[in-house]
Amino acid sequence: MNSDHDTQHDNRPAAGQEAAPPGGSQHHPPLRRAGQGRMLAGVAAGLGRYFGIDVTIIRIAFVVLGLLAIVGSSLGVAGIPFYLAGIPLYLACWLLIPEDGEEHSIAARMLASLQSRPR
């Protein structure tokens, strides 16, 4: 005869294992632009790896946003049209996300070099 206790799942970690963080969040690799498997600057491949999404889906999203920039659109959020997002978003990711094997992004290196200049 099964009691209610027997049918409940025990969510405690096994011996030698750590408990999952609250909220069930998963561990992501660090966000980096891909050094390999890239088409342009590695932004889409890096985002795909980070979020666990097929890179083709991310590339298609960037292409659609980029085409909206060319064609134009009345679609938008909070008065900001979507067609202003694709190309600037890609460029911002290229500047702000470090490449595989690099500690700092392009923007961080540029900022550091400007700050280290004699005045």
Give one DSSP letter per residue of 76-90, joined into a string: EETTEEGGGTHHHHH
* 52 falls within a domain: yes
- Whole domain around residue 109: which residue ranges? 28-116
pLDDT at site 54 = 93
* 110 falls within a domain: yes
Compute the Cα dihedral for 65, 69, 70, 72 and give only its sign: positive
Write down the mean pLDDT value for the chain: 74
What share of the chain in percent tops pLDDT 70? 63
* 2 falls within a domain: no
Domain count, the chain: 1
* 21 falls within a domain: no
pLDDT at site 67 = 75
Q: Please state the rounded mean pLDDT for residues 106-111.
A: 92
* 16 falls within a domain: no
pLDDT at site 105 = 92
pLDDT at site 62 = 84
* 96 falls within a domain: yes
Q: Token pair of 16, please?
A: 């030698």
Above 80 in pLDDT, residue 79? no
Q: Please state the rounded mean pLDDT for residues 26-44.
A: 83
Above 90 in pLDDT, residue 22? no
* 9 falls within a domain: no
